[in-house]
Structure 1
Amino acid sequence: MGRQLRSQGRTQPQVNPVQAGIFVDTSVWSLALRRDAPTDHAAVALLREALLDGTTVVISGIVLQELLQGFHGPKDRARILERLRVLPLLEPERDTYVRAAQLRNTCRRRGVQLGTIDALIAQLCIEHDLALLTVDKDFEHAARFVPLQLAI
């Protein structure tokens, strides 16, 4: 059993397993980190509240990669890395990929088109009992057919 992880601190904590908390999807981080985005979005407010009240806030390597690919320039990348390096980084294991494929197939049979990366993120959340904070409607549709908890 892992220990409760917090978003504060200066080093990247180990994650395995995380109990209770939120996994923040790229869609929310993009809103929160963009200088030209409105900061009053409900998902951004929930993220801010979670960070301030000590809720475990988790990301994965793929979310970090997506964020770094979406922002241009070394200053933006450095700013993102600095802000996110204190968060637990949740990484999938071999069985996670197998179950993510099953999850995606379940969704597809039900008429929900969930992408490969989104299926992996959903499976990570399910395995680690994390609520997913996202503004991506595909997850909302998937949550009707798989045990995915959404933060909003």
Structure 2
Amino acid sequence: MKVVVDTSVWSLALRRGTVADPHVGLFRELIADGRVALLGAVRQEILSGLRHPEQFERLKTHLRAFPDLELGTDDYELAAEWFNLCRGRGVQGANTDFLICAAATRRGYAILTADKDFMSFKRFLPIALLTP
């Protein structure tokens, strides 16, 4: 099964000193098995905020090994529906997070994240979270 990897895990993996984090270890296994799915919005988040153009170019080149998961209208509509559902129950989240939830669920993929917000989403959404 493919796994949509959230920005929080990518960030952990790209930082120095977080090699021992269990999310990073599982992420590396998923890469080795060819099971990582990347959303374009996550790619944008990963690449945003880099201070040095050389760093941006190097990371952009490395990320090209992971093609973007193709998204369609149904993904965006479900993400908006779930955003509204959760907000109506007092659970806030980012648009990208709900897009991850919708895209993964529609394809039968799991989600790997270090973001605790996804545990709140899981109370109301039929998402599958992969935990290390």
TM-score (norm 1): 0.80
Rounded Cα–Cα distance in structure 1 between residues aligned with 2:28 and 2:126: 25
SS in 1 for 2:38: strand
Where do 5+ consecutive residues of structure 1 fail to align? 1-19
Identity score, percent: 41
Determine helix, strand or coil for the equivalent of 2:85: helix
Q: Which runs of 4+ in 1 moved over 6 A?
A: none
Structure-1 separation of matches of 2:39 and 2:19: 23
Aligned to 1:126: 105
Number of the residue aligned with 1:38 = 18
RMSD: 1.4
Give TM-score, length-normalised by structure 2. 0.91
- Mapped partners of 2:89, 2:34: distance in 1: 33
Kept in 2: contact 1:57–1:88 (CA 8 A): no
Work out whether 1:77 is the aligned partner of 2:60. no
What displacement does 1:55 show? 4.0
Q: Equivalents in 2 of 1:48, 1:63: separation in Å?
A: 17
* Cα shift at 1:85: 1.0
Question: C-alpha separation between the residues in 2 aligned to 1:55 and 1:76?
Answer: 25
Structure 2 CA distance for aligned equivalents of residues 26 and 91 of structure 1: 17
Counterpart Cα distance in 2 of 1:37 and 1:74: 23
58, 77, 97: which one aligns with 1:98: 77
Residues in 2 aligned to 1:71 and 1:45: alpha-carbon distance in whole angstroms = 24
Q: Name structure 2 gaps, 5 residues minimum.
A: none
Q: What is the distance in 2 between the residues matched to 1:79 and 1:129?
A: 32
Conservation of the 8 A alpha-carbon contact between 1:133 and 1:150:
yes
2: CA distance, partners of 1:121 / 1:91: 12
- Pairing partner for 1:143 from 106, 122, 127: 122
Partner of 2:8: 27
Where does residue 95 of structure 2 map in the other structure?
116
